[in-house]
Amino acid sequence: MIKTLNLLLPVVSASSLLALNIQAATPFEACPTQAFIIQTPSALTITYGVDLSTGSYTVLSSDMNTGKVNAVGFSYHDSFLYGWDYDNNTLSRFGAEFEPEPLNIVSGKIGTTFYVGDVSLTENRWYGYRSGHGLYSVDLSVDTGDYVMEKIASAQDMGSPPLTDLAFHPTNGLIYAVDNDGYLLEINPEDGLTTRISQVLSEQALGFSFTFGAQFFDVDENLYVSNNSNGYVYRIDLQTEVADFFAYGPISRSNDGARCALAPVISSTPLDFGDAPDTYQTSFDAAGPRHGIGNLYLGSRVDGESDAYLYPLSDDSSDGADDDDGIAFVTGAELGESALLLASASTVGGYLNAWVDWDGDGHFANDEQILNDRSLSTGENLLAYEVPVWAEPGQTWARFRISSTPGIGPTGGVADGEVEDYVLSVSEGNVTLNYYPSASEYTTLAYEDLWPREGDFDMNDLLINLKIAQTIRENEVLRLTIDGQVAAVGASYRNGFAIRLPGVPRSKIRQESIKLKVNGIGVNARVLDADAAEAILEISENIWTMVNPGEGACTFFRTQDGCGSLMRPSFQLSLTLSEPVPVTQFPMAPFDPFIFATPGYARGNLGSHTGISTPGRSWEVHLKNQTPTERFDRAFLALAEDRSVPGSNEYFLNEEGMGWAIEVPQNWKHPQEAVDLREAFPHFQNFAESSGADHPDWYTEDKANTAVLFQD
């Protein structure tokens, strides 16, 4: 480090120093890519140079020859750092020697401390914010040696934001900051007008408290914030208002940062990246895992690249050298069993962390970590891990990261070590599949949606063909697959369709495992009802969105001849239980399939009975004697033709014992539009009145008036 005249002088006042006309400071290189972090962990004030691409840092100055320095900004106009100098009680300029050059503020100066500040890119002017006082600025371009502090806005005018740093945007001239509550703020430097945009980080979601004492931009308009307590750096995209974990940086109680906002975030040396698909946040743009290359790595070698070569174009394919050689799977990965692997380390002193995408959703979750800060000896280490019972069978991805930094996650940059991604096959082991009604047949669910009025009772307002498969292991249910077809929609009302698992808490369903496909295409929709304690699976809020009745005079779908008869929209729902449930404690198939009123749509004259014309989820129709869900409005019971008696567990039936929903144990040929079920199947009424004792085969075609059945 170059010693300058300032280093040999005792600490003097700003006016005395300027009177000596000492001009020893050397500007930094134009717009350096590194970030400057200034900390005072003890008696000395230290400056670090931080490579944001990995979070690695070097000491640029071990002693800035002054006390605490805060509210620091980098001036693009003259390539100096400016920060509030606590020993000299003024704003000081710092060059490449990191020695203070106090500025003589002749008027407007308040107090002795500023924690928050930066230098504008549109003008050579420092801006500082002080809690309880407001936003101030100092023009740095004056050539008289006398500086003036101007007040821009009071803290009250700005809404008294709890700031610990701020940063100027590289192009629009505005100030941005993430406050102590995790909210992204936009501040106009002309008048201090402060706008709260959105909460981008929360202590509840992160699991720890934060104080973002260092904040700065890159040329791509990303805002970076560094947490004092753990050094974690987050990158915030202002367009999406999303914060991603980015890198592991230095830790300090006293923390301030500055950076040239027009510089890109790049590494000065090659880094090691993973090569899994980018759904796992593998690439640099996705804040993927990246390691500075040194003496610590997995296996026998590590190589570097400028960015990830995503599967199937791994970096091994690009250079012909396989550096993913540190992990060997000794045993297969079988549901609910322990498995073994060998991990090889180049040297001692590293921590191994690993994850497997057990549910196959394309990213690594916290509960998918299989190794946590495992210390390795040089050479091979035999390690055990557990395969959860809720894992999806088939091929998936695993990620292994070794570093001297403990506690790292599956993404983000770190100073040393290596990341290796692997394809892993997961097998089911000794499992069986239980089908309902069989592996090749469907059961049929038929609904009349005029409840509690009897209506035409054609039982074709909604027809669903349903088939259920349960995966069983050691007499416990692991997961469900529900296949369905919309066989008919003869309703002018709008209905949704859902399936309840009676007695199964919502918490038993692994939310991340739920997959819904409609006509073979994945649907990004909420399936598990978040407002119910039981597990309720909503297939669709409006079945009409799945069907097309056809051309011409077609009003309904597959209840009028020639209307949609060649098409049956399909859906498939699969899910995994968070923990297995004994078969004896699991509800019997087909569970509790029901229809409900599509939210926002009126329901005929229902309002005249209850005052509720658009009931939404509070209106339901279930199979006869099935208890309604907790979201059902029991004021609808016993209205009009309904003869429900909750005390006797009798629901959704009329005085003749007929229900507004029935299950037919086959792919059933249904009545045409407006044809009463009892006309189409004359024995049905005897079946209903006898509670199923008489004519249990009423639904077969030889018991039917085939002239009024729908013809495919």
How far, in Å, CA of 148 to CA of 18, rounded?
15
Structure tokens at 10: 């005792």
pLDDT category, 316, cuts 50, 70, 90? low
The Cα 428–Cα 388 span in angstroms is 11
Q: What is the pLDDT of residue 607?
A: 61
How far is the C-alpha of 126 from the C-alpha of 152, rounded, in Å? Answer: 12
Confidence check: pLDDT of 43 > 90: no
The pLDDT score that the predictor gives to residue 317 is 54
DSSP per-residue codes, 288-323: --EEE-SS--BTT----BSS---TTS-HHHHHS---
Summarised one tens digit per residue, pLDDT across range 251-262 is 766 778 899 999
Q: 662: closest CA among 482, 404, 461, 491?
A: 461
Query: pTM above 0.75?
Result: no
pLDDT of residue 40: 83
Terminal CA-CA length for the chain: 89
pLDDT of the residue at 24: 58
Residue 144, C-beta contacts closer than 8 angstroms, at least 6 positions apart? none
Instruction: With a cut of 80, say whether residue 426 has pLDDT above it.
Output: yes
Residue 111: what residue type?
A: G
- Say yes or no: domain 271-427 is CATH 2.60.40.1930: yes
The confidence score (pLDDT) of residue 15 equals 39
Q: What is the DSSP letter of 624?
A: T
Residue 206: pLDDT above 80? yes
Between 191 and 270, whose confidence is greater?
191
Average pLDDT over residues 599-603: 90
Residue 498, pLDDT score: 98
Q: Are 599 and 615 in contact (CB under 8 A)?
A: no
Q: Give me the phi and psi of 299, to 5 degrees please.
A: 75, -150
Q: Could you give the CA distance from residue 224 to residue 235 in angstroms, rounded to a whole number?
A: 5
CB 167 within 8 A of CB 223: yes
Q: Which residue has the higher pLDDT, 269 or 470?
A: 470
Predicted local confidence at residue 308, as pLDDT: 86
DSSP string, 60-107: EES--SSS-EEEEEE-TTT--EEEEETTTTEEEEE-TT--EEE-EEEE
Q: What is the pLDDT of residue 77?
A: 96
Ranking 147-156, 291-300, 303-312, 501-510 by mean pLDDT, the lowest is 303-312
- Find the range with the poorest average confidence among 39-53, 200-214, 518-532: 39-53
Determine the average pLDDT of the residues in 311-327. 69
**3-class SS string, 399-449:** EEEEECCCCCCCCCEECCCEEEEEEEEEECCCCEEEEECCCCCCEEEEECC
Closest CA to 675 of 562, 565, 564, 561: 561
Instruction: Determine the pLDDT at residue 12.
Output: 35
Run of H or E including 5: helix 5-8
Among candidates 326, 325, 319, which has minimal Cα distance to 304?
Answer: 319
Residue 23 has pLDDT above 60, yes or no: no
Q: Give the pLDDT band (50/70/90) at residue 157.
A: very high
Residue 24 to residue 3: CA distance in whole angstroms? 10
What is the pLDDT of the chain when averaged over all its residues?
Answer: 89
CATH architecture of 32-258: 6 Propeller (2.120)
pLDDT digits (tens, 9 = 90+) for 455-510: 778 899 999 999 999 999 889 999 999 999 999 999 889 999 999 999 999 999 99
Torsions phi, psi for 546 (to 5 deg): -95, -10
Give the whole-angstrom CA distance, residue 557 versus residue 370: 50
pLDDT > 60? residue 318: no
Q: Taking residues 520-546, what's their average pLDDT?
A: 94
- Stated as kind and residue range, the H or E segment containing 127 is strand 125-130
- Determine the pLDDT at residue 82: 97
pLDDT tens sequence across 54-93: 888 889 999 999 988 999 999 999 999 999 999 999 999 9
Which two structure tokens, joined as six digits, stand for 425? Answer: 């096959």
Domain ranges of the chain: 32-258, 271-427, 432-678
Tens of pLDDT, residue by residue over 360-372, are 989 999 999 999 9
pLDDT, tens digit, for every residue of 505-529? Answer: 999 999 988 999 999 899 988 999 9
- In the chain, % of residues over pLDDT 90: 66
Residue 383 has pLDDT above 60, yes or no: yes
Is the Cβ–Cβ distance between 595 and 661 less than 8 Å? Answer: yes
Say if residue 11's pLDDT is above 70. Answer: no
State the residue for tokens 């039936």.
653
Lowest mean pLDDT, pick from 38-52, 286-300, 571-585:
38-52
Q: CA Rg, the chain, in Å?
A: 34
Please determine, for residue 142, whether its predicted confidence score (pLDDT) is greater than 80: yes
**Band of the pLDDT at 665, cuts 50, 70, 90?**
confident
Q: What is the 3-state secondary structure (H, E, C) of 153-202?
A: EECCCCCCCCCCCCEECCCCCCEEEECCCCEEEEECCCCCCEEEEEECCC
